[in-house]
Amino acid sequence: MERSLKQQEAQRQKSSEDKTYSCSYLRIFSSSAQVISMLFFIFVFCYQQSFSQPLASNKTKFVGNIIGRAFHANFSQYWDQVTAENAGKWGSVEMSQGSYDFAHLDSIYHYALSNHFPYKHHTLIWGSQQPSFMSTLDSASQYQEIVKWIDTTGQRYPEADFCDVVNEPLHHPPSYKNVLGGSGATGWDWVIKAFELARKYWSPRTKLLINEYSVINGDTAGAKYLQIINVLKERGLIDGIGVQAHWFEVDGGASVTALKNNLDSLAATGLPIYISELDIDRQDDSTQLQRYQTIFPVLYEHPAVKGVTLWGYMQHETWRRFTYLVRADGSERPALQWLRKYLLTSH
């Protein structure tokens, strides 16, 4: 009888222990399931966020784009820097003497500010898209108009982060360059004067840049570009170097090694480099993807490059037919999908 009672008591203890173990196991399982569920939620949230934020969010280098004639709601889903495609060019703003139309440029500028995106003004002095009335004026009047243009824009956009003071000095100097000093003793006195005026009339917070193409895919233009840059640097007039990097420069125009070596040469000045107008003009999706995979890392990962701006992304709105990255129906070309993954997983 006594043994029976002891056996029953032992059985009850074992049953109680089994229940305790079972409950503990369930609690552990439940806790693990909660952790897994939470991790999955975090993963999904982060993945979704990667599609709702600019591609280079939380990166030290921006990846920006231009705004042309139209604003697109998806701009901020991809890009975190703004350049006006044409709205900031003198010929677009002052088509007739003394009559300024800043409406579209103002909207682009304020869009950038409201989204906390760096804004670059493009451009002050360029031999193309200049007001036609300039050719009808005498030298003194031309100079007055240049000063007025630079002063007016400087006052209007005091929070601009960057400004292309002179665009394409090697390939498209303005017809009125002699008014600014011509070649002069340095060979580039007119560029110096343009930067002096920009330094005088633009905000100290705005970094003054020069901008040019075909300077990293060959030696001749690159060497001349360095001459201008060093002349400006000696005078404390320049804050950064613009390298356009259009398709005809980087896509077959030079080897990856040449691109890197020429970037190294520019970087030796000690000035930051900004890739300013990158595009890859390829109709075939696979080819465009392959070229982006080859070229973009060379540019973006160079230590002197502080940001990359692409020159358009919406189909039917790019200056070259096949440089777009988002189709008219809103779908993304493979190169853009790759770019997101590249920036999300590294660098």
User: Quick one: 224 and 143 in the same domain?
Assistant: yes
**Where residue 287 falls among pLDDT bands split at 50, 70, 90?**
very high
131: exposed, middle or buried (C-beta count within 10 Å: 0-12, 13-18, 19+)?
Answer: buried
Question: Which residues span the domain enclosing 234?
Answer: 54-345
- DSSP label at residue 29: H
Flag whether pLDDT at 4 surpasses 70. Answer: no
State yes or no: is 168 an active-site residue.
Answer: yes
* pLDDT at residue 11, as a whole number: 61
E strand segments, the chain: 62-67, 82-84, 119-126, 162-167, 207-212, 240-243, 273-278, 305-310
Residues 168 and 306 in one domain: yes
DSSP H helical ranges for 157-276: 189-201, 219-234, 247-250, 256-267
In a shared domain, residues 15 and 87? no
User: Above 60 in pLDDT, residue 299?
Assistant: yes
Confidence of residue 218 (pLDDT cuts 50, 70, 90): confident
Distance between CA atoms of residues 279 and 259, nearest Å? 15
pLDDT (tens digit per residue) in 161-199 = 999 999 999 999 999 999 999 999 999 999 999 999 999
The pair of three-digit structure tokens given for residue 254, joined into one six-digit string: 């030079």
Do 308 and 338 lie in a common domain? yes
Same domain, 110 and 222: yes
pTM for the complete prediction?
Answer: 0.86
- Domain harbouring 235, CATH code: 3.20.20.80
Total domains present in the chain: 2
Checking if the pLDDT of 37 tops 60, the result is no
pLDDT of residue 9: 57
Tell me which of 85, 168, 212, 249 is the catalytic residue.
168
Instruction: State both tokens at 301.
Output: 């990962």
- The residue from 52, 71, 87 where one domain ends is 52
For residues 99 and 145, membership in a common domain is answered with yes
State how far the Cα of 122 lies from the Cα of 166, in Å rounded to an integer. Answer: 9
Average pLDDT of span 18-34: 53
Q: Is 184 found in the same domain as 137?
A: yes
What's the whole-number mean pLDDT along residues 278-305?
98
Whether residues 121 and 237 share a domain: the answer is yes
- Specify the amino acid at residue 258: A
Please write the tens of the pLDDT for every residue from 223-271: 999 999 999 999 999 999 999 999 999 998 789 999 999 999 999 999 9
Tens digit of pLDDT for each residue in 57-115?
A: 989 999 999 999 999 999 999 999 999 999 999 999 999 999 999 999 999 999 999 99
Residues 98, 204, single domain; the answer is yes
Give percent helix, percent strand, percent coil of the chain, each to the nearest 5.
50, 15, 35
User: Residue 332 catalytic?
Assistant: no
